[in-house]
């Protein structure tokens, strides 16, 4: 699930937010070549979200540091923010009305078997995504299983 991430200023952590109800956003986004950027921009357009300013940053650590020290926000997957839930740096709020989901897909060549190290890394990523989903459901009081899965099976090319 995608989250509105902002510097900690209120006690609204994990409180759902409808972006179209907010003042125009100053938002940090990945560059236009990034699929996430296109998906976020589509969400903004389809849901009447007003953006005052955009700043392109492809470095995640730079994005998080900038957001923590400013009045800018970012749209990030919950799996990226789960370790920051109990810290005092960020408010992490699920996008709602409508919700916005991330899909993580493993793509590997059909002609080459994944190395043991790569397979282990992929399994760790899958487990972390599933753990984040469970934490999200528990912390937000979600009673139903999300319609979209945090992970999908590998796609072979």
Which residue carries 């540091």 as its tokens? Answer: 65
Q: Torsions phi, psi of 92, nearest 5?
A: -120, 110
Contact 94, 1 (CB under 8 A): yes
Domains and CATH numbers, the chain: 1-98 (3.40.190.290), 103-157 (no CATH)
Where do the DSSP E strands lie in the chain? 2-7, 25-29, 51-56, 73-77, 90-94, 107-108, 155-156
Cα separation, 59 vs 30, whole angstroms: 8
Interatomic CA distance for residues 17 and 5, integer angstroms = 11
Can you give the pLDDT of all 157 residues of the chain as single tens digits? 999 999 998 888 889 999 999 999 999 999 999 999 999 999 999 999 999 999 999 999 999 999 999 999 999 999 999 988 888 899 999 999 999 998 888 888 889 999 999 999 999 999 999 999 999 999 888 644 444 444 445 555 5
Do the beta carbons of residue 139 and residue 94 sit within 8 Å? no
């Amino acid at each position: 699930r995608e989250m509105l991430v902002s510097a900690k200023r209120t006690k609204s952590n994990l409180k759902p937010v409808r972006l179209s109800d907010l003042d125009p956003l100053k938002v940090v986004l990945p560059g236009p070549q990034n699929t996430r950027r296109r998906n976020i921009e589509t969400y903004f357009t389809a849901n009447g979200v007003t953006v005052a300013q955009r700043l392109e940053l492809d470095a995640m650590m730079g994005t998080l540091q900038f957001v923590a020290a400013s009045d800018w926000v970012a749209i990030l997957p919950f799996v990226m923010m789960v370790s920051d839930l109990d810290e005092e740096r960020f408010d992490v709020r699920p996008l709602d009305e409508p919700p916005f989901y991330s899909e993580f897909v493993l793509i590997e060549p059909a002609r080459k078997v994944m190395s043991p190290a790569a397979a282990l890394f992929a399994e760790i990523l899958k487990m972390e995504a599933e753990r984040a989903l469970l934490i999200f459901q528990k912390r937000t009081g979600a009673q139903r299983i999300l319609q979209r899965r945090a992970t999908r099976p590998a796609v072979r090319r």
